[in-house]
Amino acid sequence: MQRALVTGGNRGIGLAIAKGLVDAGFEVIIGARDGAAGEAAAARVGARVVRLDVADPRSIAEAVQAMGAVDVLVNNAGVLGAGNVLDHPDDFEACMAVMLNGPYWLMHHLTPHMVQSGFGRVVNVSSGWGAFSDGIEGPASYGVAKAALNALTVASARTLPETVKVNAMCPGWVHTRMGGASAPRTPEEGADTAIWLATLGPDGPSGGFFRDRTPIAW
């Protein structure tokens, strides 16, 4: 049975991704900063949990040691900033730590096994707000961090062998705690493309950016 790690998987889109991968036959590990919330979420969908603060490289290293290798990594954890990007350095640091540095360190630790085993899938949950084609429209540093995550996707896909596929996706505007009550999409609708990318066959794409299983502009 293949193993998958979903960061920020204790609610919203992350939980929907975790459930979808469990239903697809994966052994799923939910990475959660709040252990109790992670345990409750994991019990709901039939997953396991590992305590993981993606903003802390030491926590990442400890989580990797505790859970071992995985075949699929879904970098879903995120934070939403507010205000002017240049006026809020603390917000900038937090966004980059969670949505760029965390995915980088997880990929650093977990992709060597994927390379060695000849199979791996990395899904970076990004956003149209991080697309240059849309003007990096995210609030404060959110869009900047997602744009950097997109760049990491392209660079790492170019570096890794074809057996390890790395892609970014935009879930759209989803009704979650972050997305708000006015959002038109369900977490399951937002999760669908991530699940598709996590389960790509050997001829699937790598180094792309997708929404609703369709390529979109960076």
Give me the catalytic one of 92, 105, 129, 142: 142
Is the predicted pLDDT of residue 35 greater than 90, yes or no?
no
In 10 A of CB 181, how many CB atoms? 7
| DSSP 8-state class, residue 73 | E
Is the separation of the CB atoms in 99 and 49 below 8 Å?
no
Is the separation of the CB atoms in 99 and 149 below 8 Å?
yes
- When pLDDT is cut at 50, 70 and 90, the band that residue 181 belongs to is low
What pLDDT, on a 0 to 100 scale, did the predictor assign at position 185?
75
In 10 A of CB 98, how many CB atoms? 22
Q: How much is the average pLDDT of 17-28? A: 98
Q: How much is the average pLDDT of 158-179? A: 84
**Whether the model pTM is above 0.75:** yes
Question: Chain-wide mean pLDDT for the chain?
Answer: 93
Cβ neighbours of residue 201 closer than 8 Å, sequence gap 6 or more: none
- When pLDDT is cut at 50, 70 and 90, the band that residue 136 belongs to is confident
- When pLDDT is cut at 50, 70 and 90, the band that residue 135 belongs to is confident
Amino acid at 50: V
- When pLDDT is cut at 50, 70 and 90, the band that residue 168 belongs to is very high
What pLDDT, on a 0 to 100 scale, did the predictor assign at position 81?
78
User: What residue ranges define each of the domains in the chain, with the CATH number in brackets?
Assistant: 3-215 (3.40.50.720)
> Which two tokens mark 47?
């997953």
Q: Is 142 a catalytic residue?
A: yes
The least confident of 86-90, 176-180, 198-202, 207-211 is 176-180
Render pLDDT for 50-85 as a digit per residue (tens, 0 to 9).
999 999 999 999 999 999 999 999 999 999 877 788
Q: How much is the average pLDDT of 7-29? A: 95
Nearest to 148 by CA among 194, 193, 93: 93
Please give the order of strands across the beta sheet that includes 214-215: 48-51, 27-32, 3-7, 72-75, 120-125, 164-169, 209-211, 214-215
